[in-house]
Amino acid sequence: MSNGAHSTSTTTEIDLTTGRIRGTTAGGIGRFLGIPYAEPPFGELRFAAPAPRAPWSGTRDATTFGPAAPQSAYPQPIGDLLASVSEWGEDILTANVWMPDGAAAAPVVIWIHGGALERGASSLAGYDGTPFARDGIVFVSINYRLGSEGFSVLDGAPLNLGLRDAMLALEWVHREISAFGGDPERITLMGESAGGAIVAALLTRPESARLVRGAIIESGPLEVQSPQKAGRVTRALAKKLGVAPTKAAFAAVPPERLLQARTDHAAGRGPLSGVAGFQLAADADSVPASPAHTLADVDVPVLIGANTDEYRLWFAPEALAKVGRLQAWVARTALRVPRAAMRAARAAWPDATPGELLGQLLTDVMLRGPLTTMARSRPGSTHVFEFAWCSPVRELRAAHAVEIGFVFDALSAARSLSGAEAPQALADEMHDAWVRFIATGDPGWPVYGDGRTVRVFDTTSSTRRQPRTEIVDALA
């Protein structure tokens, strides 16, 4: 049964400040789905800051997920690995809550899904909150605006609208979570990939950070771009559509047409093509500077890490095989990878092909380097991990997103990434560590510290000095 559904359940009603909702309880876990935390961001509210949801009368049904944000399916071959959302709508700014039956002042986690800021939804089966609620955590997941609707850089519109949605959702959780048995003073943010980037960005904003007691960032980019650079994709879409990159012009374009323009814009282009993607833009009101450099001043425990072979989700094996020495050199030069980092990477991966070596350097430039910079700036309150278990699927190894099924203790929902024989013992270990961190701020291994301590998750896990420090240090 998907999404934590059970064969028998009873209805349960809860009063929120905006009105009464009806969910279900089964197996000792309550579920309340599709709860609106903001008004639908369309019509007059399209490309505007999110507006808190107005109160409703009567009892609102909360037994089904709300619609996903407008998005297109993942292209092939990645579409065979990552689930896509087939239907979307307008009333998208909703939250879902799983709660242990009888919870009182329980620790809380807010899950923010990934998807390159343009895909994904809280309703995907792999994000079921049941395992966390089973272990005493009140689990919340949210939807936020994606793609052009959420991360365009438009004249006349606020920047980072999807991030602003998450800000309002955090405030909603802090205000309402006690009704679900959660403690508003024990909220942990948790996100993967783009969701991890949003978690990090929320921590840079004092008004949001004061509501948080911990943060988990899985494979989340920690850099934000100038509005000029973050707006490249907006300008490209505006040109393709024949409109100006303004709020008024984009608001006149139906969501379906914006999605098709983005699909046409990215068609046939791979990770090395230079096609612009959606990114967070530096903005005084939402994310003033890159978290890699500003989280040193945020006094909450952080659990952060990346996967050994992140790049292998984005590069199919046949694409890697086609990357020659010249193409790899051009890409490394464009990324301004220092010679010392290239030499260290060759020493660490002596048998790697040019494509694999380039992929590893991309992983370090985008993820491992910035997270190391952040961890070294706050060594006493940061726990670092590396996910190293090698998936047998499509030569993914420890690719981007493979760890999610282990963290959620949901390997059956993650078979497209990890296969049918993924080790349950590793899922038990990782899920337990995440639950412990949410509850106590300590996942069970030492902080990064001067010894640069890292927990490496594998078939046999170990706690040791951070691997391949020569590469990330050369990138700093």
Q: Is 218 a catalytic residue?
A: no
Contact 469, 452 (CB under 8 A): yes
Q: Is 219 a catalytic residue?
A: no
Q: Is 57 a catalytic residue?
A: no
Query: What one-character-per-residue DSSP string does 245-298 give?
Result: SBHHHHHTS-HHHHHHHHHHHHTT--TTS-------B-BTTTB-S-HHHHGGG-
Contact 306, 367 (CB under 8 A): yes
CA 30 vs. chain centroid, Å, equals 24
- Which has the closest alpha carbon to 148: 225, 245, 77? 245
| 314 vs 306: CA distance, rounded Å | 15
- Which has the closest alpha carbon to 240: 229, 253, 227? 253
E strand intervals along 258-392: 302-307, 382-387
Whether the CA torsion 88, 414, 190, 389 is positive or negative: it is negative
Checking 424-429 for CB contacts under 8 A at 24+ apart, the result is 426/389, 426/457, 426/458, 426/459, 426/461, 429/457, 429/461
| 470 vs 254: CA distance, rounded Å | 49
Rg (CA), the chain: 21
Catalytic entry in 193, 290, 391, 461: 193
Phi, psi of 169 (to 5 degrees): -65, -40
Residues 6+ apart with CB under 8 A from 10: 24, 25, 26
Tokens describing residue 379: 């060594």
| 247 vs 104: CA distance, rounded Å | 45
Whether the CA torsion 97, 80, 405, 466 is positive or negative: it is negative
45 by DSSP, 3-state: which? Answer: helix
Length of the chain: 476
Contact 306, 219 (CB under 8 A): yes
Catalytic entry in 118, 149, 223, 310: 310
| 33 vs 59: CA distance, rounded Å | 14
E strand intervals along 58-118: 59-61, 94-100, 106-112
Strands 59-61 and 214-218: unpaired
Contact 262, 250 (CB under 8 A): no
Residues designated catalytic? 193, 310, 400
